Amino acid sequence: MAPAFTLDPQQRRWTTELRELAVRRLRPLAETARPGRVNRPLVAALGELGLLARVFPAAGSVAAMDLCLLRESLAQECTEAETALALQGLGAHPLVLAGSESQRKTWLPRVVAGQAVAAFALSEAGAGSDAAALALRAEPAGDGWLLCGGKTWISNAPDADLYTVFARTGPAAGARGITAFLVPAGRPGLSGRPLAMLAPHPIGALTFDDVPVGAEDVIGEVGGGFGVAMRTLELFRPSVGAFAVGMARAALRAATAHADRRRAFGGALKDLQAVSHQLAEMATRTEAAALLVYAAAEAQDTGDPARAARSAMAKLFATETAQYVVDAAVQIHGASALEHGHPLEHLYREVRATRIYEGATEVQRTVIAKELYR
């Protein structure tokens, strides 16, 4: 099915090129990688092909629509490439927003080239959806601080080269008193371990045992870290929906092809009304999700006052839709889709986390409800 009418011919050509590139250049790198760890050849390829340069344009911040089209297109053909690209963006975007000239000059060229792997270290065991509850401490020490505590469910940990770390520098509770730090790998006292998750995604836990940081490591202003985190997540939230739409499109395409060629009860599976109606529902929900994502991206790019609500709606609906579409595609395929290595088995594991990270479904509903009365 063609992309929604909101995309112009140039955007449609670009998304087609991205999908072809993913199949030809990126998927082979993903297929030979070690599951659950950073795939450096894949990250390097994203740099060589200029895709990371689209995430970090020289003129400033990436357009939300570009980010969404990148993620949706890559997700249709290679979720590993999509995730690697998104994590580079998430981990290093705080430097674009608030980094010093020295920080940007030192790290951004390497991130864009795919030579340095970035990570966004916000979540903790007691601070997931409620990010303002984070407890990692930055204890004053001389002219700087010592980071003490832990982070968990950090994508690209423990293999990243630089971490954007959010820690509490003041006694104030909640969002106040949180500072963002740029912490290169190899700092004394910094250690980590990989986590084995449902999907083989590079993710881990970090331990900060008196890790030294100074004024030159602060991203933005002391006490302004929560704002940096939220502004980063606000930009990336619609594109999580785009990732979900890409997976839904891939699952729908697989289900449609299978129903056409599979013979059952004397005819093609697609001729059974139960199956054809299911495919129609999958297609309708997927297209509706895509339209919400594109609308949210446009709202973000134009500074629409309703952008927070639109982003929350897009993330909520697209991720829930993708879960439904992938599950329905598995059901249409039957037992074959449950075999390890089947594309739908892969999508079934990949899609689940999107309803949790960067604002769980329940959080998005809360945001939407609040925006109704703003």
Determine the Cα–Cα distance for residues 252 and 286; give it in Å rounded to an integer: 8
Take residue 170 and report the two structure tokens written for it. 């003041």
Cβ(78)–Cβ(45) under 8 Å?
no
Longest dimension (CA), the chain: 80
Take residue 183 and report the two structure tokens written for it. 């912490």
Take residue 299 and report the two structure tokens written for it. 């709202």
Indicate if 124 belongs to the active site.
no
Terminal CA-to-CA distance of the chain, rounded, Å? Answer: 37
- 3-class state of residue 130 by DSSP: coil
Which of 20, 234, 358, 362 is labelled catalytic? 358
Determine the Cα–Cα distance for residues 235 and 311; give it in Å rounded to an integer: 9
Take residue 285 and report the two structure tokens written for it. 């929900």
| Residue 41: cis peptide before it, omega within 30 degrees of 0 | no
Determine the Cα–Cα distance for residues 59 and 55; give it in Å rounded to an integer: 11
DSSP 233-257: HHHHHHHHHHHHHHHHHHHHHHHHH
Helix axes 79-98, 225-261, angle to 10 degrees: 160
218-219 and 203-213: which strand pairing? unpaired
DSSP 148-175: EEEEEEEETTTT-SEEEEEEE-SS--TT
Active-site residues: which are they? 358
